[in-house]
Amino acid sequence: MHQKVTIKGVKNIQYNEKIEIGTAYVGFMHRTDKTFLNINGKLKIEGQYSIGRGCRFDIAKDASVSIGKGGYINCNSSIIIMHKLRIGDNCAISWNCQFLDEDFHTIDYAEKKETPNSIEIGNQVWIGCGVKVYKGAKIPDGCVVASDTVLKGEIDKENCLIGGNPARILKENIHWK
């Protein structure tokens, strides 16, 4: 853990292996950048994982975040979860990403479709820098989400390149390493 890390609710974190918080070097980070984890709900990390410097986690009292083994979330990304987030194994999450599963305000109108208050990310998913992932998002195994994409719906095919605002499938049958 880097010396500029603050964790509130450390007793609410479950982990099986080593977790690195704020220690991985990224060229544009500064030694004084602060990482803050506010864990009122449950944070479960299945295996080795790295949380980048400058990240912010806010997990509400009755919320749960489950992260698989391997992978990382890079610097300056935010996870704001009031309900549920599941991230699969070996996912690479780039810098300046945001995960938010709550609207915090309601807009009513005719024929409004309800969206689930959860986010699901499959295994071996790469999320590019600046991506926004909102409630109801579902990203299947093997997908790549292009930088600056805004995703709030379900993608129904594995191994796809996803991009745009709103997000859509750009290419199918892709593979990444």
Q: What is the helix (H) or strand (E) element at residue 56, kind and residue range?
A: strand 56-59
Instruction: Give the pLDDT of residue 151.
Output: 97
Q: What is the rounded radius of gyration, in angstroms, for the C-alpha atoms of the chain?
A: 16
Contact between residue 54 and residue 76 where contact means Cβ atoms under 8 Å apart: yes
E strands, 98-143, in order: 98-100, 118-121, 126-127, 132-134, 138-139
Q: Say which residues have a Cβ less than 8 Å from residue 25's Cβ, sequence separation at least 6.
A: none
Distance from C-alpha of 83 to C-alpha of 35, rounded to nearest angstrom: 22
63-95 pLDDT, tens digit per residue, is 999 999 999 999 999 999 999 999 999 999 999
Residue 1 pLDDT class (50, 70, 90 cuts):
confident
Instruction: Give the pLDDT of residue 30.
Output: 78
Give the CA distances from residue 9 to residues 38, 39, 68, 144, 162, in Å, rounded to whole numbers and listed in that order. Answer: 6, 5, 20, 32, 35
The domains of the chain are located at 5-104+115-171
104-160 pLDDT, tens digit per residue, is 998 889 998 888 899 999 999 999 999 999 999 999 999 999 999 999 999 999 999
Topology (CATH level 3) of domain 5-104+115-171: UDP N-Acetylglucosamine Acyltransferase; domain 1 (2.160.10)
3-39 pLDDT, tens digit per residue, is 789 999 999 999 988 899 888 777 777 778 899 999 9
